[in-house]
Structure 1
Amino acid sequence: MLRLILGRAGSGKTHLALDTAIKIASSGKDVVFVVPEQFTFETERTLLESLGPSMCLHAEVLSFSRMATRVFELYGGRSGRAIDDCGRLLLMNRAVKQVRDMLKVYRSQAESIAFSKKMVDTLSEFKYRGISAADLLDVGRRAKDEALNFKLMDLSLLLQTYDAMSSTLFMDSLDDLTRLSEKLEKHLFFQNKIVIIDAFKGFTSPQKEVIAHILQQSQDVYIALCVDGVRQNADEMGLFSPVRKTARELIQMANHLGQQVASPILLKEQYRFSSSDLAALEKNIFRVKHVCTEEIKNIHLISAENVYEESQFVAQEISRLVQKENARYKDIVVISRGLSLYNGILDPICKKYGIPLFLDAQRDLTSHPLMAFFLDALDAITTDFRQEVVLRMLKTGLAGITSVEIAELENYLYTWNYQGIEAWNNEWTEHPDGIGKEKSERSQRHLKGLNRLRERVLMPLKQLSCALETAESGSQKVLALYNFLLSMRAEEQMTQMCT
């Protein structure tokens, strides 16, 4: 039976879904809670805290991708090498070249790697929407516009060729939900289980195929949607129109499969907003004709000349709230649509006002000094001590060598163009100032200092290289890398960098 839980934002849909899951699991029945990938950890933690370790065994939290992995582990379907974005690009480039002479519109672009990249993006979108090569071919044949016809024919041919190559060589994660549907046709994974689906705005075609199998196998299926009802608007252009359409499609799907549909559970109360102003804004923000007659006290619009003035106001307002309104820094959130606009602006202004600021921005892992040092050390070993790689490792600041010492090493290496492990293994004897310079007591002292630096750089890397070569298992290699970081006092170096 399909049971829809409907309501606006903050009406308690997730709370009701979790409460339902807890009651079902507490009774000893198995429940599967399906949420987007980013919510799986939080949902698992909530269920564990409410049910305890023993009863939580009856509750399983899955995303659609984790669901595919779970089913493949039970019934097979993971054999073959996985392919990543780089592999897709290479395979697509090969497919394009193979059918180049058969293309009508894209033949002139077939040699361009940029075209292959674009085709990989297009392929991903087709897979996401559940569009096959046969679908493109069918639409192309019926298209009245000749240019559109040729384009769709080309895309169909490219997709068909790529799929033929991929299916024989690799397992593409883009096809996981398609393979999951095929497995669910043969295996009753959801039999005797109650399924609850929450926090989705809508579903792709492959996800709908999976939901169809869930409806056929499961005793009850609860689906929570952020919509204030399923009745169609006159113009079908309202705020909830896409989600309302999804709700109607789910009802039609259940009816088509011969499954019962319970009356939707419509939640009307607002629990999220402690401020009536925010509740009114959420309800009416996209209603152009609505006019608020009440006094607004908790929402303020500020017009600033630029991001500097805007950031200045934010910092001043935070200081005022903390000093005069007894607010706490941890309870204040600054939300921006484009955080990159404020990088290097908001953080120094907050520092000026003594405001502790955490920027929730994605950061490339390789840009972190510890990871950069770690990877550069491995690169130095595998590239035979290439000059630029070794210097890059030293400049991370974790090699225990000062910036002045690094500059001296860099000057000497560039002066004599030393490259490779052999140059580092042998004692340096050339004049630090270059060709034709007379040796002196000062230059000899300088040279001895450079050789001491050479040893400090060389020995830890040689020990790491030897340990990795003699390691017989993955765990031994990891231990060798860990010991290398300990020998370089990486933890102490990181602590010093932070102080």
Structure 2
Amino acid sequence: MAGCLRFVAGRAGAGKTALCEREIAEELKKAPIGPACVLLLPEHMTYRVERELAAKLAGDGFLRAYVFGFRRFARQVLLGTGGLLRPRITEVGRRLMLRRILTQHGEKLAFFRRAAKQRGFGATLSETLKELKSYELTPEKLGKVADDFAETEDALSDKLRDLALLEAEFAKAMEGRYDDAEDMMNLLIEKLPSSKFIQGAKFWVDGFIFFNPQERQVLAGLLAAGCDVTVTLPLDPALNKSFENTSSTGLFNRSWRTRKDLIEQVARPLGAAVKDVTVTEPQDAAEGRFQAPALAAIERGLFRHPIEPQEGAGAGVQIVEAANRRIEVEAAAADILRLARTEHLRYRDIGILVREEDAYLGLLKLVLEDRHIPFFIDGRRETVHHPLAELVRSAFEAVRGWRYEPVIRTLRTGFFPLTREQIDKLENYVLEFGVRGAKRWTMEEPWPWHRRRSLDDAEEELTENDAEALVEIDYLRRQAAGPLSDFAAKLAKGKTVRDYTAAIYGLLEALEVPAKLTAWTEASEHDERLASASEHRQVWDDLLELFDQLVEAGGDEAMTRRDFEAILGDGLDALEMKIIPPGLDYVTVAPFDQNSLMNAKAIYILGAGEGVMPRRSREKGLFSDADRQHLSEAGLEIASGGLDGSLAEKFLLYRGFTEASNHLWVSYALAGSEGEGVPLAAARKPRHAGRRGSDRAQP
């Protein structure tokens, strides 16, 4: 008999997550040991919610409760049913494999032939292939639709044929060797009926507004196995009577369509019972999110037209205007200290949301460190910005022509036995005398060039100071050129992927990179920069894994040095570090689209400028919005792209502006980093939608 599918509908702050946690806690109190109680969440929310659940149990602990994302849930099931022995390919491995496929089959492509040679194409292709697999669009399906479009949409037809070829080649390369995350989900769907872990289990699914076809099949498998499944969705409690739910442009329409899809495609074919529960406010007043009336008014009226200004004092909401971004960040940091010192908030109760990460994250690091405010930047960090990744990339470019810029860039990574002052001296000398080329950098004789005080005396003798300076410069040159010269010699002899990988590893060993990273880690820990320490500790293992995957994927395959550099570059671009929060009391800095800051006591939203909030919808991936429309009309299910992106943007803003319980700070800068003016539309809505907050201007 199929289980029951229960929907819990409510607006932001109504207590949907609290309901899930409370019901799980009640199940555990009834029977500490028994069938599993599983809470499925987006991956980025699992850490915080698991801690909240543990706190609700008042230190009693739990054995039956599990907090998973879909991928970790798949791993848990496969541990019992089998299927984990085959290696999982990482994103780095995917990029490397795709780069090889593009190198081998690039000339067969019709639509993507030129694009395939550009840097970054492998990353975009990887995301597209993930989407195709998660929506079960096989090469055969793509080929058939391509034939149908051959006469009416020739460009789309060529694009589909190229993707069918690349998807087929990628599947062939993976067959019998690796699985990826999408393969693991398919295996989970296959193994669910035989899983003992889910027998008698209850499931709560929270934090999602839509599910892809694979995730829907997982939910169907749980219901078919007799499990009761509760799905929370952000919806207006009026359900089908609410314009915000049923209108195609409504705030909650994406969630409403998800509810409809789960009923029609999952519950109804299985004959599963469907129940609706609506929540308008938390059962326990202490669990209520909005402690300030102005914040509750913002939740009700943020996107309501016409705007209805609220009467009364706007305690809890601040709209701040700053002359530039640096002053904006400084003002936010000062207010965080005020909350910590005068209102006794813990740093862990405070979050900062940014939309323009490139514009604000660097400033936030500088200012928060300067004010001694502990913070953690939530999200994956690109390894490509770490000095070690820069060393690997720049070293190849440096020995290609021994030009000034890449050589000095390589030296400035900090791994060579030279201080910054010594590198400055060497750089000034190289610029003054135009030193370039391997012959000059690696010559056996000392560098003879020096500044002459007269054009007439060709045999002008060196002064004692000049001679000492030349000796020092030549010593610095040999310290820099020695390891690079050995590296260049090994590259010249190399012909295979294994040879090139061994050459770069030899350079890293010669420079004693592991020892330097250990020293950097200890220094960062001493300065209480624990996130930086974690980065230094993790980056070496990540790079070694990249080298292993290079050798495993390519091994003894002959390859030009340029092709190897391209593959290595794609691998470095794909490397990401996921840092676990290094402490318990810190300000969380997070992006709008993926964060776990719900119910934070204070939220700071920076950079609320027009064009950023809301962000203009842009086409992403290899399919345009028109392509997606044509595929949908041809009967293929695929994400709709731009339209859903625009509506999702509206919901993201709604969620961001409604996450705070006590204090909401919304700020914008009048000028950007280069003094250019910034449009100022986004901050107006909270000013009018809530009770009028205090407006401040930072000079």
TM value normalised by structure 2: 0.54
Q: Any conservation in 2 of the 1:228–1:240 contact (CA below 8 Å)?
A: yes
In structure 2, the CA distance between the partners of 1:222 and 1:420, relative to structure 1 (3 Å rule), is farther
| Structure 1, unaligned runs of 5 or more | 101-106, 463-468, 471-476
Specify the SS of the correspondent of 2:9. Answer: strand
Larger gyration radius, structure 1 or structure 2: 1
Per-residue deviation at 1:206? 1.4
Partner of 1:88: 98
Amino acid at match of 1:8: R
Residues 485/335 of structure 1: CA separation in 2 closer, same or farther (3 Å cut) = closer
- After TM superposition, the structure 1 = structure 2 runs for residues 22-421 of structure 1, keeping only pairs within 5 Å, are 22-26=25-29, 27=31, 28-29=33-34, 30-50=36-56, 56-74=62-80, 75-76=82-83, 79=86, 82=89, 83-91=93-101, 94=104, 97-98=107-108, 100=109, 107=110, 110-113=113-116, 120-136=126-142, 146-148=151-153, 150=154, 153-170=157-174, 171-184=179-192, 187=195, 189-229=197-237, 231-233=239-241, 236-237=246-247, 238-252=250-264, 253-261=266-274, 263-269=275-281, 271-289=288-306, 291-292=308-309, 294-295=311-312, 297-298=314-315, 308=323, 326-327=342-343, 330=347, 335-341=353-359, 360=377, 364-368=382-386, 371=388, 375=391, 379=395, 391-396=408-413, 401-410=418-427, 419=438
How far did 1:95 drift? 5.2
Residues 1:429 and 2:446 aligned together: yes
Say how many residue pairs are matched: 472
CA distance in 2, matches of 1:234, 1:486: 58
Give the secondary structure class of the aligned counterpart of 1:294.
strand
Deviations 1:175-202 (A, max 9, x none): 4423432333565552232222111111
Query: Is the 1:322–1:328 Cα contact (8 Å) retained in structure 2?
Result: no
Residues 459 and 7 of structure 1, relative CA distance in 2, 3 Å threshold: same
The one of the two structures with greater contact order (alpha-carbon pairs below 8 A, sep at least 6) is 2
Q: The residue matched to 1:190 in structure 2 has which SS?
A: coil
Contact 2:102 2:116 in 1 (8 A): no
Distance in 2 (alpha carbons) for counterparts of 1:360 and 1:277: 28
Secondary structure of the equivalent of 1:213? helix
Q: Whole-Å Cα distance in 2 between the matches of residues 11 and 79 of structure 1?
A: 43
The answer on whether the counterparts of 2:295 and 2:317 sit within 8 Å (CA) in structure 1 is no
In structure 2, give the amino acid aligned to 1:126. Answer: L
Unpaired segments ≥5 residues, structure 2: 283-287, 452-457, 486-500, 503-508, 533-699
The answer as to whether partners of 2:111 and 2:158 remain within 8 angstroms in 1 is no
What secondary structure does 1:57 align onto? Answer: coil
- Residues in 2 aligned to 1:350 and 1:80: alpha-carbon distance in whole angstroms: 41
Q: 1:130 to 1:421 in 2, by over 3 A?
A: farther
Report if aligned partners of 1:195, 1:221 keep a CA contact under 8 Å in 2. yes
User: Per-residue deviation at 1:358?
Assistant: 6.0
CA contact (8 A) 1:395 1:406 kept: yes
Q: Distance in 1 between matches of 2:97 and 2:166?
A: 12
166 and 189 in structure 1: CA distance in 2 versus 1, 3 angstrom threshold: farther
TM norm structure 1: 0.72
- The Cα offsets for residues 158-189 of structure 1, whole Å up to 9 and x where unpaired, read as 34433332223223434442343233356555
- Alignment partner of 1:441 is 2:448: no
CA distance in 2, matches of 1:320, 1:230: 39
How far 1:333 sits from its partner (Å)?
Answer: 5.5
User: CA–CA distance in 1 between the matches of 2:67 and 2:362?
Assistant: 39
- Paired amino acid for 1:257: L
Q: RMSD of the alignment, in Å?
A: 5.2
1:18 aligns with 2:31: no
SS in 1 for 2:62: helix
- CA-to-aligned-CA distance 1:213-240 (integer Å, 9 cap, x gap): 1211253212221113484248621322
Per-residue CA shift, 1:413-458, capped at 9, x if unaligned? 675658499949x6x6343528976455334423443465468769
Distance 1:441 1:132 in 2: 76
Identity %: 23
C-alpha deviation, 1:275, in angstroms: 1.4
User: In the superposition, relative to structure 1, how do residues 267 and 383 fare at CA in structure 2: closer, same or farther (>3 Å)?
Assistant: same
1:147 shift after superposition: 1.8
Tell me the distance in 2 between the aligned counterparts of 1:489 and 1:211: 44
In proportion to residue count, which structure has more helix? 1
Give, in angstroms, the shift of residue 318 of structure 1. 7.4
- Deviation (angstroms), 1:258: 2.3
The 3-state SS of whatever aligns with 1:255 is helix
C-alpha displacement at 1:9, in angstroms? Answer: 0.9
